[in-house]
Structure 1
Amino acid sequence: MVIVFALVVLLVLGALVAGNWLVWRRLFRDTTRGPGLVRRTGAVLIAGGWALTVAAFVAERSGAPFWLQQLLAWPGFLWLALSIYLLLGVLAGEVVRPLLRRWLERRASAETAVVREEPVPVGAATGGSGPTQAPAADVPASEPVPASEPVRAPSRRLFVSRVIGGAAAAAAVGTVGVGTYGVLNGPSVKRVTVPLAKLPRAAHGFRIAVVSDIHLGPVLGRGFAQKVVDTINATQPDLIAVVGNLVDGSVKDLGPAAAPLAQLTARHGAYFVTGNHEYFSGAEQWIDEVRRLGLRPLENARTELPHFDLAGVNDVSGEDEGQGPDYEKALGDRDTTRACVLLAHQPVQIHDAVDHGVDLQLSGHTHGGQLWPGNLLAAAANPTVAGLERYGDTQLYVSRGAGAWGPPTRVGAPSDITVVELASRQA
């Protein structure tokens, strides 16, 4: 097992080194005529960026002073996102490069052919009878004509490298810039109607505001939390469900950032279940903190609302601490004639929900992939990446989440707060 793990680590490191070497080669080596400041600057930029990225993750996980986490997080995490799209841009350039070179070669060949076919003017050849060229102005022998410095035009290869490298860099910076602005600007509201067979007519139109993966931390702080709270309250929900990954850090560091959650307002209250990141950040402390802020944690527990049951289970990451999900405790003795909505952070928990007759599971965790093509990796690890799907008699809705983990950037997976409107088939 240790050998397999070591081989995987070596494979990943090899891929990272190869990818970064390709980025350096295409953006810095191939765009310059020889060794110099630009190539050295590129090497320092890439190596330094990755050093900041590693330092940012280590500082966050090791509980370093919060000011140091904040200092490292912005440049380190943004470099991670930028490096992804620089590599993708360079790889896309490998497809365009031969096409552009071939087009330039054909254009140059066509221009050369036109020049060769131009007729020679009469009298231009030696011994011709045409008009003679006017004599040049007299120049004293003591004053030679100054020779101008020749301008070295870039070769075709150098020109192509600069065009493609510049386009790749511009595309990467633009993509990360737009994706970061989208996160910092706050999540949008998405609305989904979910019919439940057991829901009575009196509960038709009941609205649950689902928010997941806020990820308060060294990058997203109190201001972002306030935007999330204001967006949720503006939807005027009947109930609020916070389905995990609220924070990346301790109550000591992030308590002030989470304070706006006390302003959440809904007729039937706000509920909370743990996500995997709570267990990296001190789950018990955060459960006490959200309770103090007015949210009700559902720790493998259930509450009977007027027209349906609302249950919640701990995240599977809690199993390492003896606090994993307990479906029997949360659902075992319930009245199965009543509709049941389950809050569970990870979509993989749907299979247990199906076994216990849950009507609807609300989850997050995937971020919708967050950074394209991360959705492909998320799809390999989760039954549903985003949206509403059915598993037997149980429906699963997965939110893309309100915040972001690592880079405060989203590409192809915009953040959201979802208002799930329950519909009765009797209405």
Structure 2
Amino acid sequence: MDTDRVIFLLLLGVPCGLAHLYLWKRLVRDTTTTPRGRRLGTAAIAAMFVVLLAGLVGGRLLGTTLGSVLAWPGYLWLAMTLYLTLLLAVLEVPRAVLNRLWRRAQVPAPVTVPAEPDAAPVEEPPAGPVDTSRRLFIARSLAVAGGLAATGVVGYGATQALGGPVVKRVPITLGKLSPALNGFRIAVVSDIHLGPLLGRSHTERIVTTINGLDADLVAIVGDLVDGSVEELGEAAAPLRDLVSRNGSFFVTGNHEYYSGFQTWLTELSRLGVHPLRNERLTIARGGASFDLAGVNDVTGKAQGDGPDMERALAGRDTSTPVVMLAHQPVQAVQAAKLGVDLQLSGHTHGGQMWPFNYAVTLQQPVVSGLAEVDGMPVYVSNGAGFWGPPVRVGAPPDVTVVELRTA
């Protein structure tokens, strides 16, 4: 196992292990009264932790076909672990309140003991064991409530992640755009994530959605795959059926660099999807034009294939607008400095599962939708697939029609 995989396992495995310890305390220790019940509960929690770890490494070590057998239960349990932990943590407040109220209610009044004549009565505390039945009832009730709520959230999230992408239509005004290009439509899709859980039918559904949009141009802004061409070439094959007036274009995402990016660039070119490799081209219509530029993902630096925005923009006519395709929104900081008029990105998944959208803001300037970075409009797609758990909560998958408009 290489260093990256060890780090990957530590980053997820350690917090997941701590979460399972917490789940054991609340779902097993606090709710069982017999040694046998506690042993069975402990074994179940330990088994699910092993299933989770197997799901995390299965696709990477065993390939797409066998890895998918482990990935489905492993990743679904990862989502359950997250929401069970969050919900039970929230329920700590009513747990503490209920237990405190019960302790007060079950303590009887002190017993008054007669004293010697002419002496004051003496109060003694009540004797006898404290009844724990109410505490057990509270623990079991909150465990059931947390389990049902987490199952509901994960179930809803799975229907969102595995359902068809939402079509969004986003008009964006560019000051330099010629009236001849007013209404130019770019179909933006990102983070398709073909891999152990998403295959050919996923690609076919996305292609069908895009082809129904009457797009002038298709932009795939990274993270198409989680696996090699040998494993996923057939799953990506429907991309050859993409239809648009000005072609389909692609820039690398970070996951391409984990999946053999060079062979994927060759395969995409064969399928009629044109990679933009720190370069730009002119898109013309009705005697007017704009520049379409694309840069490699920042992850490519480690493999000698990093972004070079200056090269992509060198020598261009600054009187016409330039639209930049860049996988990560953080690349917009440099793009704005170099005079780019619009950046189209993905990478964030919109946070994919609430509350991770708040964590994404620590790394990226835009999480989802249209915003500005240093005065430059940036549109960030939620992505059409998912990574890890087949669950989306608060960030449905999407395909977006960006419509360019004149000022």
TM-score norm. by structure 2 comes to 0.87
| Equivalent position of 1:249 in the other structure | 227
Sort the Cα spacing of 1:12 and 1:275 in 2 relative to 1 into closer, same or farther, 3 A. Answer: closer
| Equivalent position of 1:170 in the other structure | 148
Sort the Cα spacing of 1:11 and 1:194 in 2 relative to 1 into closer, same or farther, 3 A. Answer: closer
RMSD across aligned positions (CA): 2.5
The aligned length equals 377
How far apart, in 2, do the equivalents of 1:90 and 1:354 lie? 44
How far apart, in 2, do the equivalents of 1:192 and 1:369 lie? 20
Sort the Cα spacing of 1:14 and 1:245 in 2 relative to 1 into closer, same or farther, 3 A. Answer: closer
Question: Percent identity, aligned pairs only?
Answer: 52
| Equivalent position of 1:115 in the other structure | none
| Equivalent position of 1:327 in the other structure | 309
Q: Secondary structure of the residue that 1:388 maps to in structure 2? A: strand
In structure 1, runs of 5+ residues without a counterpart are: 1-5, 113-152
Q: Secondary structure of the residue that 2:254 maps to in structure 1? A: coil
Task: Map residues 109-120 of structure 1 onto 2, 5 A cutoff.
Answer: none
- Checking the alignment, whether the CA contact within 8 Å between 1:211 and 1:399 is kept in structure 2 is yes
The residue type paired with residue 51 of structure 1 is V
How far apart, in 1, do the equivalents of 2:172 and 2:201 lie? 32
Between Structure 1 and Structure 2, whose CA radius of gyration is higher? 1
- Out of 275, 279, 300, the position equivalent to 1:318 is 300
Residue 15 of structure 1, CA deviation: 4.7
| Equivalent position of 1:51 in the other structure | 50
Residues 1:188 and 2:166 are matched in the alignment: yes
How far apart, in 2, do the equivalents of 1:19 and 1:294 lie? 46
Between 1:291-300 and 1:211-220, the stretch displaced more is 291-300
Residue 416 of structure 1, CA deviation: 1.1
Task: Map residues 187-336 of structure 1 onto 2, 5 A cutoff.
Answer: 187-306=165-284, 307-336=289-318
| Equivalent position of 1:358 in the other structure | 340
How far apart, in 2, do the equivalents of 1:108 and 1:193 lie? 65
The residue type paired with residue 340 of structure 1 is V
How far apart, in 2, do the equivalents of 1:80 and 1:397 lie? 30
Residues 1:23 and 2:23 are matched in the alignment: yes
The residue type paired with residue 79 of structure 2 is A
Residue 250 of structure 1, CA deviation: 0.5
Sort the Cα spacing of 1:371 and 1:260 in 2 relative to 1 into closer, same or farther, 3 A. Answer: same
Residue 25 of structure 1, CA deviation: 1.6
TM-score norm. by structure 1 comes to 0.83
How far apart, in 1, do the equivalents of 2:317 and 2:374 lie? 20
- Checking the alignment, whether the CA contact within 8 Å between 1:359 and 1:393 is kept in structure 2 is no
Residues 1:370 and 2:352 are matched in the alignment: yes
CA deviations over 1:331-355 (Å, ceiling 9, x no partner): 1111111100000000111122112
Sort the Cα spacing of 1:251 and 1:299 in 2 relative to 1 into closer, same or farther, 3 A. Answer: same
Between 1:287-296 and 1:339-348, the stretch displaced more is 287-296
Q: Secondary structure of the residue that 2:319 maps to in structure 1? A: coil
CA deviations over 1:139-164 (Å, ceiling 9, x no partner): xxxxxxxxxxxxxx981111111111
| Equivalent position of 2:82 in the other structure | 84
How far apart, in 2, do the equivalents of 1:185 and 1:11 lie? 29
- Checking the alignment, whether the CA contact within 8 Å between 2:343 and 2:378 is kept in structure 1 is yes
How far apart, in 2, do the equivalents of 1:54 and 1:304 lie? 47
How far apart, in 1, do the equivalents of 2:281 and 2:14 lie? 51
